[in-house]
Chains A and B, each alone.
Chain A
């Protein structure tokens, strides 16, 4: 879009004053008459079966109102996680919930319940599950098989299988070489043998990437009650429209029976993508208690267990380079720790991401996704691509050093350009291709802004106990879906009401997407009302606010919806004033003849739309919109001119965004401490909608990757199968003192040609950029062979340096 007034401009999101004054209400901030409190009883064992529950003493306590067990919840199908279970697959999994007049009573009641548990075999390290005779996480098997064509439902498509590898395949495991037995999935393209045959340098190394909890600041607390057969639920979700059907499914009711309120969400990072299954607990308790409101506050410790985590992976990478640094062949084998539920697909995303950012001339991807008795995973900000950065970046850096090629240059040589192809051949015989990539432009921009050559000159030189290093990495991620709906009304009060069905989780995209409508309709921003966060107010079918989709998907949808409204304004004007609709244009809140001719004010046009009825005021809507959008449109029919449309714009290719991270670190070789000195992130994310938010996404996302490089991880006691890294204090999220007081970010701002607004998403790509850049900078400072796992903590650095070889346990997960 050329000559924009709002797109690309900073603005103040309309919800900011509510946030800064404490008036913004998150799920746990709601109160209702007679509200009860719920507490959970969770499994103390990593795997067990509930033989009997004796709650008689608890239920006899004054103030205790009811109990909810797995038997009270709908069956969601085989292998699908429910909010409560009779066979816990991880320590911390909820078995039952108690509702009482207050939380203390509920907790005391939980203490009085006797649960008879039968311990079952368990495993917390995926490689242990693959060893011959090793324990299985479930009685039905130890891995997720490949998705079966024709499978129904999110999980039914993948079967649970049992796969064990041989002792011979584990022969080199204690030397840190990942065993490569039978994978469950694989693909390949190009001539791998020829690629390695032609290579001037071949590396074969294993890297262990850690798991971390999402830990949004707001836990997944929820409050629910029933009125007149309808469930009203205050929950914390990333995606309002998409969570509604999930809540209905979890509660065994129809979506039309649910009113979901989630105006403010205290972060999610993928852990609340389609809501949280635990939110059905207060809803079902309330249902059992005739609709009385039930609040379930989730503690930080509860959140640690049920709040989701990143899949950890071990990756063995065999990679060949030509003398000039071009990657001739890449053979990647991934063992993914899927956790207790799933099935997860991060291993697939990791393989595709590697194919995209390194553009190997030939590539094979093999993977196995192993079930363990550890808390359930979900997609965490850059799920898969970040792990690919972690598994492969240290090898690229090592190769560059050995070949004598600059770190930026070797990435420049291998980066995709424009509509580059990636992955294996599709069913149509063609390989997938990107809609666009401007990585080289971003690398060049960043290299100059970061003063790369200047810093490179002193990297690796020891000054006292300190040595500096610089690193760069390209973080990729899929960045946009298509085909969602838009709904807006221009009303006689002269205002444009844009309904927003995505979540309000801090990215501001919930508001940003209305800027597109304001732009198309030449509407003053102060007359635009964004309506969000309450399905009772009618929201259109919108994308999940995950996977960096929202900006792309919903700017397209609102571009369609706003153009539908614009066309209706032109038609109304032509009906009343003669001529054809194309004779009319929009400006100054009027639809008028091109030039300075006669026309109608928006207020007049809105009134005329209501008089005309039919499609103009939303009494007739397009056939192809989602049933949720139809329901929402019915609520708004007759209120003014309605813009309602599905995004039917074509798209040729797969949309990916990229962020390039540049990092300088200082390593103290006497203490092992790594300090991040400076960081720059440069985005290739299409047209920029909201610059200030975009740069904050790049910096904040990079920080998540930086935290993964330096400090954040899970730790398990393998003997008892219990997590040791509960809470913030032990899991070490990044604090304000772990990063430089000033960070930098920029974007190339080149529009994607396959979407009308030109914008792609940004949320995830900076994570892999920060992760890879910092890992590479550490390798640059102290040597490419000092670490083969992340995070690269002080003890790891110091032990390796002092012993002049890697001292960390090679392949073990969660240490």
Chain B
């Protein structure tokens, strides 16, 4: 069960702890980092702080944005493009709260480097509705009152939309498998499935 889970790969936990005790300090989790774009000056000493201006296709818009080479898509969306609908629940590809569509395929945006999506089509929860017209899956969630606290909802919804694009008529069990990369701690899974099954029906009807 025990694994080194900081980016200090190659260092065992025990050696790490020993080193920590010797040096007397430990960062709580140095791996979960974010550098604000353009806000600091003269910060060339920090490795990886170099940003490059790139163009991203997000929700049908071409967005120009400065990103670091190690920056994840989740951080770019949330902190540079103002798209806070994409949530970060674990930052380690465990929970799926950050799921977005890249070229119509669901991805954990916490585990995708922003540089790798240049030239690809990124869709977030904010890009799902057409103006005030909700996407059929969103409408189904409203009609079935899917989800409770809803922090996982954007990621789940993107996962479901992505799955339904290629599996428009799933059984409940198939749909569960299709969205099983997402966690809900309210464990409202039954109602989530009910909502997405209705969403599948609405999507079939609208296509």
Residues of A within 8 A of B (CB): 10, 12-13, 16-17, 19-26, 28-29, 31, 37, 39-45, 62-63, 92, 94, 101-105, 107-108, 110-111, 113-117, 119, 215-219, 264-267, 269, 297, 299-302, 505-508, 692-693, 695-696, 699-701, 703-704, 707, 715, 717, 720, 722, 724-730, 733-737, 739, 741-743
Contacts and interface: CB of A to CB of B under 8 A. Distances in A.
Interface string B171-207: 1110011011011111111111100000000000000
A300 B148 contact: no
Contacts of B108: none
B42 interface: yes
A25 B85 CA distance: 8
Contacts of A299: 28-29, 32, 91
B188 A301 contact: no
A343 to B, nearest CB: 26
Please list the 3 inter-chain residue pairs (A to B) with the smallest Cβ-Cβ separation, ordered nearest first.
A22-B85, A266-B151, A506-B148
Interface residues of B, number: 83
B99 interface: no
Contact of A16 (B21, B141, B184): B141
Interface string B42-69: 1101101100000000000000000000
B190 to A, nearest CB: 4
A664 to B, nearest CB: 16
A699 B187 CA distance: 8
Interface string B2-25: 100100000001100100110111
Contact of B185 (A26, A37, A215, A696): A215
A41 B182 contact: no
Nearest to A100: B40
Given A735-B183, A739-B189, A107 B148 contact: no
Given A16-B142, A20-B138, A41-B25, A730 B39 contact: no
Contact of A506 (B20, B46, B147): B147
Q: Which of B1, B29, B86, B173 has the most CB of A within 10 A?
A: B29
B164 interface: no
A39 B32 CA distance: 10
B151 A267 contact: yes
B186 to A, nearest CB: 5
Contacts of A110: 25, 27-28, 30
Contact of A102 (B40, B142, B189): B40
B126 A21 contact: yes
B149 A266 contact: yes
B149 A217 contact: yes
B168 interface: no
B111 interface: no
B89 to A, nearest CB: 5
Contact of B46 (A104, A505, A704, A733): A104
A41 B27 CA distance: 5
A699 B95 contact: no
A63 B40 contact: yes
Contacts of B192: 736
A112 B147 CA distance: 43
Contact of A737 (B35, B39, B145, B180): B180
Contacts of A107: 27, 30, 33
A22 B90 contact: no
Nearest to B83: A22
B5 to A, nearest CB: 7
A720 B17 contact: yes
B23 A62 contact: no
Contacts of B149: 216-218, 264-267, 505-506
A107 B49 CA distance: 13
Contacts of B28: 39-42, 92, 94, 110, 299, 301-302
B101 interface: no
Contacts, number: 255
A217 B183 contact: yes
Contacts of B92: 300, 727, 729
26 contacts: A13-B145, A16-B142, A22-B124, A29-B78, A62-B40, A62-B42, A102-B34, A107-B30, A111-B27, A113-B25, A215-B185, A217-B183, A217-B184, A218-B151, A267-B151, A301-B32, A506-B147, A506-B150, A696-B188, A699-B190, A729-B94, A733-B183, A734-B189, A736-B179, A736-B182, A742-B193
A743 B193 CA distance: 11
B185 A216 contact: yes
A716 B114 CA distance: 36
B87 interface: yes
Interface of B: 1-2, 5, 13-14, 17, 20-21, 23-30, 32-36, 39-40, 42-43, 45-46, 48-49, 78, 82-92, 94-95, 97, 124-126, 128-129, 134, 138, 141-143, 145, 147-154, 157, 171-173, 176-177, 179-180, 182-193
B123 to A, nearest CB: 12
Contacts of A114: 23-25
B185 A267 contact: yes
A165 to B, nearest CB: 31
Contacts of B88: 28
B19 to A, nearest CB: 9
Given A22-B154, A104-B34, A216-B185, A302 B29 contact: yes
Contacts of A265: 149
A264 B78 CA distance: 17
A16 B188 contact: no
B74 to A, nearest CB: 12
A730 B151 contact: no
B84 A693 contact: no
B55 to A, nearest CB: 22
B85 A105 contact: no
A108 B30 CA distance: 8
A703 B190 CA distance: 10
Q: Which of B26, B29, B177, B185 has the most CB of A within 10 A?
A: B185
A743 B188 CA distance: 10
Contacts of B148: 267, 505-508, 696, 700
Given A506-B147, A722-B17, A727-B5, A102 B36 contact: yes
B145 A692 contact: yes
Contact of B39 (A101, A108, A297, A733): A101
Given A115-B24, A217-B183, A506-B149, A724 B84 contact: no
A28 B79 CA distance: 10
Contacts of A103: 32-35
A505 to B, nearest CB: 6
Contacts of A104: 33-35, 46, 48-49
A301 B29 CA distance: 7
B173 A741 contact: yes
Contacts of B179: 736
B140 to A, nearest CB: 10
Contacts of B40: 62-63, 101-102, 105
Contacts of B171: 741
A742 B141 CA distance: 17
A26 B43 CA distance: 31
A44 B183 contact: no
A216 B153 CA distance: 13
Contact of B1 (A24, A699, A730): A730
Nearest to B153: A19
Q: Which of A110, A695, A704, A707 has the most CB of B within 10 A?
A: A110
A216 B27 CA distance: 23
Contacts of B36: 37, 101-102
Nearest to A504: B149
Contacts of A217: 87, 89, 95, 97, 149, 151-152, 183-186
Contact of B90 (A115, A507, A728): A728
Nearest to B158: A22
B157 to A, nearest CB: 7
Contact of A44 (B26, B90, B128, B151): B26
Contacts of A108: 46
Contacts of B152: 217, 266
Nearest to B41: A62
Nearest to A730: B1
